[in-house]
């Protein structure tokens, strides 16, 4: 167990989530008699969930900053219907439609960000209003009809990497992508190791690093194999490609840029951040705006996949995205969360959904199971924190677990943490 923990950086939460994901996949692979890890099913899984995962990327930033966005499903539908209309009735070519959709998302985001950041209305209220508002607009503008979108646009939601080069029996581009990913992972972790060593920071033992790399690269190569050997005409899906690019970009922003640091700072302690020169209003505005841009993108991908925009697109998406973020380890009180964690959280939900479907479990039971999984994942997290790990939930739980005080002269910290939220 200790060795396993070392493999995953000693971070119980990440360890737990990745472990749960792998366990779920193995479980379903066995009980569906191998129908889970087939090229067709994996491609399907990605296609059917990429838009939720894209929302989860935006949502985790919103939640880290200490807000929530309930309007994402409605915003996605709103953008979807306008883009469909623009292409059908106003003569927009597909690429102009995409640009138009992103701009529309930004405008909606600016609207919501304005109320949240500059007027100071809680995001819960603003986006609850937005949820009604943009759903209503979607049905009003689209007259509650479905509006078809052109073939080129459908590529966005249901396209695949094209076949090029010699016939190798695999999809060449997918293979190339997989190999690039493997090379990227290896180079990055070796570089990080060298840097840490040079600085004199703690470096995990070599066998840990190597085993980790072998496992990750193995997983990537296996996924590449699955994607590259699907039925003819299919390969790595375009929505998956968009998702991968977004994960890289946003993971980088959250982890390595000043803006990302500011998001964590504002969510962790807004007052302290402001007194350190962080413009918290600007940060809140950008985070809310970004969420709506991603919601617009998710809406367009969904419209592309379902070949038409409809009045009930995106219903309930906000809940799936929020669940993914919390399963992925974010804290309700803000300041905690990672992009990659949210993706893993989203995949846990997706695999669960997919596996239960393959097993022929009904929608009713699926919902019950998903609800319990969400609760269990967060409960596991809270329990872990209360065992001495630092976190808001951990500090809050301290009141009820008197033996877990950190230090005698810190006896007021619980109160302070609570009052911080006010």
Partner 1 sequence: MTSLDTQGDPILLEMRSITKEFPGVKALSNVSLRVMAGEIHAICGENGAGKSTLMKVLSGVYGYGSYTGDIVYQAETQQFKDIRASEAAGIVIIHQELALIPELSIMENIFLGNEPTKWGVIDWAEARKRSLELLARVGLREDPDTPIKEIGVGKQQLVEIAKALNKSVRLLILDEPTAALNESDSQHLLDLILGLKGKGITSIIISHKLNEIEQIADEITIIRDGKSIETLNVKRDGVDEDRIIKGMVGRTLESRFPDHEPKIGEVFFEVKDWTVGHPQIQDRLICKGSNFYVRRGEIVGFAGLMGAGRTELARSLFGHSYGRFIKGQVYKDGKQVNLRSVKAAIDAGLGYVTEDRKSLGLNLLDDIKTTTVSAALNKISNYSVVDTRKEFSVAEEYRKSLRTKTPSVEEGVAKLSGGNQQKVVLAKWMFTDPDLLILDEPTRGIDVGAKYEIYGIIQRLANQGKGVIVISSELPELLGLSDRIYTIFEGAITGVLDKNEASQESLMKLMTSARKTA
Considering CB under 8 A, how many residues would be counted as binding partner 1? Answer: 49
Q: Which is nearer to partner 1, 88 or 261 (CB)?
A: 261
The CA–CA distances, whole Å, from 396 to 14, 84, 231, 409 equal: 22, 48, 52, 17
Is there binding between residue 406 and partner 1 (CB under 8 A)? yes
Candidates 113, 14, 98, 15; CA nearest to 58 is 113
Query: What minimum distance in Å lies between the beta carbon of 276 and partner 1?
Result: 4
Told to check if 107 binds partner 1 by CB under 8 A, we report no
Our finding on whether 407 is near partner 1 (CB under 8 A) is yes
CB 185 within 8 A of CB 217: yes
In the complex, the smallest distance separating the C-beta of residue 387 from partner 1, rounded to whole angstroms, is 11
Only one of the segments 3-11, 141-149, 299-307, 410-418 lies at the binding site for partner 1 (rule: CB under 8 A); that segment is: 410-418
Residue 415 touching partner 1 (CB under 8 A): yes
- Any contact of residue 56 with partner 1 (CB under 8 A)? no
Give the chain's end-to-end CA distance (angstroms, integer): 40
Q: Does 1 sit near partner 1 (CB under 8 A)? A: no
Q: Residues 330, 183, 245, 285: is their CA dihedral positive or negative?
A: positive
Within residues 272-311, the interface with partner 1 by CB under 8 A covers: 272-277, 279
Contact status, residue 266 vs residue 336, Cβ threshold 8 Å: no
Q: In the complex with partner 1, which residue's Cβ is closer, 76 or 283?
A: 283
Q: Counting contacts by CB under 8 A, is residue 336 touching partner 1?
A: yes
Question: Given the complex with partner 1, which of 360 and 408 has the nearer CB atom?
Answer: 408
- What is the spatial distance between Cα 120 and Cα 280, in angstroms, rounded to a whole number? 11
Q: How far is the CB of 34 from partner 1 (least distance, A)?
A: 43
Contact flag: residue 120 with partner 1 (CB under 8 A):
no
395 touching partner 1, by CB under 8 A: yes
User: Which residues, listed in sequence order, are joined to residue 148 by a DSSP beta bridge?
Assistant: 308
Q: Show Cβ contacts of residue 56 under 8 Å, excluding neighbours closer than 6 positions.
A: 321, 324, 325, 328, 342, 343, 345, 346
Distance from C-alpha of 168 to C-alpha of 299, rounded to nearest angstrom: 35
In whole angstroms, the minimum distance from the beta carbon of 29 to partner 1 comes to 37
Residues from 253 through 272 that contact partner 1 (CB under 8 A): 256-262, 264-265, 268-269, 271-272
Q: Which of 142, 391, 393, 398 binds partner 1 (CB under 8 A)?
A: 391
DSSP notation for 360-373: T--HHHHHHHHHHH
- Name which of 22 and 416 has its Cβ closer to partner 1: 416
> Distance (Å, rounded) from C-alpha 371 to C-alpha 39?
28
Nearer of residues 66 and 159 to partner 1, judged by Cβ: 66
233: left (phi over 0), alpha (psi -120 to 50) or beta: left
Closest CA to 95 of 263, 276, 300, 242: 300
Identify the residue among 4, 190, 401, 416 touching partner 1 (CB under 8 A).
416
Task: List the interface residues with partner 1, window 171-210 (CB under 8 A).
Answer: 195, 198-202
DSSP 89-112: TS---HHHHHHHHHHHHHHHHHHH
164 or 201: whose CB is closer to partner 1?
201
Q: Which stretch binds partner 1 (CB under 8 A): 50-58, 243-251, 306-314, 383-391?
A: 383-391
How far is 126 from 69, CA to CA, in rounded Å? Answer: 8
User: Which chain residues interact with partner 1 by CB under 8 A?
Assistant: 195, 198-202, 256-262, 264-265, 268-269, 271-277, 279, 335-336, 388, 390-392, 395, 402-413, 415-417, 419-420
């Amino acid at each position: 167990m200790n060795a396993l923990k070392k493999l995953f950086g000693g971070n119980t939460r990440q360890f737990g989530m990745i472990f749960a994901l792998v366990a779920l996949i193995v479980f379903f692979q066995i009980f569906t008699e191998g129908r889970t890890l087939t090229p067709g099913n994996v491609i399907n899984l990605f296609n059917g969930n990429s838009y939720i995962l894209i929302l989860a990327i935006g949502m985790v930033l919103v939640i880290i900053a200490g807000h929530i966005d309930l309007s994402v499903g409605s915003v996605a539908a709103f953008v979807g219907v306008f883009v469909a209309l623009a292409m059908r009735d106003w003569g927009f070519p597909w690429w102009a439609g995409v640009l138009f959709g992103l701009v529309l998302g930004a405008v909606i985001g600016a609207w919501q960000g304005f109320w949240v950041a500059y007027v100071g209305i809680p995001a819960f209220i603003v986006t609850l209003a937005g949820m009604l508002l943009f759903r209503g607009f979607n049905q009003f503008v689209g007259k509650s009809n479905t509006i078809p979108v052109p073939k080129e646009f459908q590529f966005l939601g249901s396209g695949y990497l094209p076949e090029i080069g010699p016939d190798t029996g695999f999809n060449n581009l997918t293979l190339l992508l997989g190999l690039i990913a493997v090379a990227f992972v290896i180079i990055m972790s070796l570089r990080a190791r060298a840097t840490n060593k040079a600085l004199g920071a703690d470096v995990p033992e070599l066998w840990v690093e190597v085993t980790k790399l072998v496992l990750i690269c193995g997983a990537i190569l296996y996924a590449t194999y699955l994607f590259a050997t699907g039925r003819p005409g299919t390969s790595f899906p375009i929505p998956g490609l968009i998702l991968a690019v977004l994960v890289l970009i946003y993971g980088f922003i959250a982890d390595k840029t000043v803006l990302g640091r500011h998001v964590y700072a504002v969510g962790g302690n807004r007052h302290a951040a402001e007194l350190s020169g962080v413009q918290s209003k600007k940060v809140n505005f950008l985070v809310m705006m970004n969420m709506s841009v991603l919601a617009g993108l998710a809406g367009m991908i969904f419209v592309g996949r379902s070949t038409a925009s409809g009045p009930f697109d995106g219903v309930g998406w906000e809940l799936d995205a929020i669940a993914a973020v919390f399963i992925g380890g974010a804290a309700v009180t803000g300041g905690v969360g990672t992009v990659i964690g949210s993706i893993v959280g989203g995949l846990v939900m997706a695999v669960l959904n997919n596996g239960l479907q393959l097993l022929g479990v009904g929608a009713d039971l699926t919902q019950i199971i998903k609800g319990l999984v969400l609760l269990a994942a967060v409960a596991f997290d809270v329990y872990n924190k209360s065992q001495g790990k630092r976190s808001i939930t951990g500090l809050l739980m301290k009141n009820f677990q008197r033996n877990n005080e950190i230090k005698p002269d810190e006896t007021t910290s619980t109160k302070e943490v609570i009052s911080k939220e006010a």
